[in-house]
């Protein structure tokens, strides 16, 4: 396997969360893969709802547009159910893997129906729409909120208890596999998997492994049709 360089984009401006996501991504990465975290310079401190999500999408694209770090071979977008993945695929010339899609696709390989356990209930509809757009919505038994905000996930005991309670609701709805519905939950799968007796998929780890596979197979975004490069024109980004 060739060495793979992955940039992982956080969907919010909280650097501590970027660092946690990068730790999870590196734990999943294969030998020779390097992971660099990217935190938007502006946008919401946590993405919870439609307004935050659209703002976050623009901020992530701006961060990638102005990125001046080391070259990279793939982008992993670490915002579960957030907007922007199609725009980023137009913007960059490397594979782009969204953790929402990645987790759902892997979950479909492990059971007939999966359930997503996420943060606030207000995020559930947005995640359902994202899964439908990705073509994996029909296999989703339920999207269940824990009632915790994104920035509350640092309390691991509280998060684990809330996740287990929500997971039982997803199981009752027919889920045979569970998906962590927030990048801030990365690492939780190791704590709850045995207790639940169900496979638990972490989107960050899933996205990293899929990104590695795409790079080593020499595959990237199709430029025929909907994801062709953006039409050349004058664009103003923010106040600039």
Domain boundaries, the chain: 5-98+205-216, 100-202
What tokens were used for 168? 């039982």
Quick one: pLDDT at residue 192? 87
Separation CA 167–CA 142 (nearest Å): 10
Quick one: pLDDT at residue 33? 97
Residues 215-223: contacts with CB under 8 Å, at least 24 apart: 215/2, 215/4, 215/73, 215/74, 215/94, 215/95, 216/1, 216/2, 216/4, 219/95, 220/93, 220/94, 220/95, 221/89, 221/93, 221/95, 221/96
| Residues in CB range of 164: below 8 A, 6 or more apart | 192, 195, 196
Quick one: pLDDT at residue 156? 84
- Given a cut of 60, is residue 1 above it in pLDDT? no
H runs (alpha helix) in the chain:
15-28, 50-65, 85-91, 99-108, 124-133, 156-172, 189-196, 203-216
Quick one: pLDDT at residue 104? 98
Quick one: pLDDT at residue 193? 81
| Residues in CB range of 209: below 8 A, 6 or more apart | 28, 30
Q: What is the dihedral of CA 70, 74, 76, 82, to 10 degrees?
A: 110
Quick one: pLDDT at residue 154? 83
Quick one: pLDDT at residue 239? 61
- Given a cut of 80, is residue 238 above it in pLDDT? no
- Given a cut of 90, is residue 208 above it in pLDDT? yes
Q: Which CATH class is domain 100-202?
A: alpha beta
Q: Which CATH class is domain 5-98+205-216?
A: alpha beta
Q: What is the pLDDT of residues 106-142, one digit of tens each?
A: 999 999 999 999 999 999 999 999 999 999 999 999 9
| Residues in CB range of 89: below 8 A, 6 or more apart | 96, 221, 227
Q: What is the pLDDT of residues 169-205, one digit of tens each?
A: 999 999 999 999 998 898 888 888 888 899 999 999 9
Separation CA 15–CA 63 (nearest Å): 14
Judge whether 5-98+205-216 and 100-202 match in fold. yes
Q: In what order do the strands lie in the sheet with 114-118?
A: 140-145, 114-118, 177-180, 200-202
Print the SS3 string covering 168-231.
Answer: HHHHHCCCCEEEECCHHHCCCHHHHHHHHCCCEEEHHHHHHHHHHHHHHCCCCCCCCCCCCCCC
Mean pLDDT of the 11-38 span: 96
Q: What is the pLDDT of residues 81-113, one digit of tens each?
A: 999 999 999 999 999 999 999 999 999 999 999
Q: What is the pLDDT of residues 38-67, one digit of tens each?
A: 999 999 999 999 999 999 999 999 999 999
The pLDDT confidence band at residue 73, using thresholds 50, 70 and 90, is: very high
């Amino acid at each position: 396997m060739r060495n793979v360089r992955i940039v992982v984009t956080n969907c919010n401006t909280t650097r501590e969360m970027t660092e946690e996501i990068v730790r999870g991504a590196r734990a999943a990465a294969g030998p020779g893969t390097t992971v660099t975290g990217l935190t938007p310079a502006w946008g919401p401190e946590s993405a919870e709802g439609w307004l935050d999500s659209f703002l976050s999408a623009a901020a992530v694209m701006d961060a990638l547009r102005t990125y001046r770090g080391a070259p990279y071979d793939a982008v992993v977008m670490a915002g579960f159910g957030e907007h922007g993945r199609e725009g980023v695929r137009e913007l960059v010339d490397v594979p782009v893997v969204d953790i929402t899609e990645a987790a759902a696709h892997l979950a479909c390989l492990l059971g007939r129906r999966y359930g997503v356990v996420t943060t606030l209930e207000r995020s559930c509809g947005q995640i359902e729409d994202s899964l439908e757009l990705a073509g994996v919505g029909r296999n989703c038994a339920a999207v269940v909120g824990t009632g915790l905000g994104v920035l509350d996930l640092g309390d691991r005991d509280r998060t684990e208890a809330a996740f287990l309670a929500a997971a039982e609701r997803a199981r009752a709805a027919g889920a045979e596999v569970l998906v962590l519905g927030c990048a801030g939950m990365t690492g939780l799968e190791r704590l709850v998997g045995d207790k639940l007796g169900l496979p638990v998929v972490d989107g960050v780890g899933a996205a990293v492994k899929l990104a590695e596979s795409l790079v080593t197979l020499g595959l990237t975004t199709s430029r025929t049709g909907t994801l062709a490069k953006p039409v050349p024109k004058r664009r103003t980004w923010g106040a600039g």
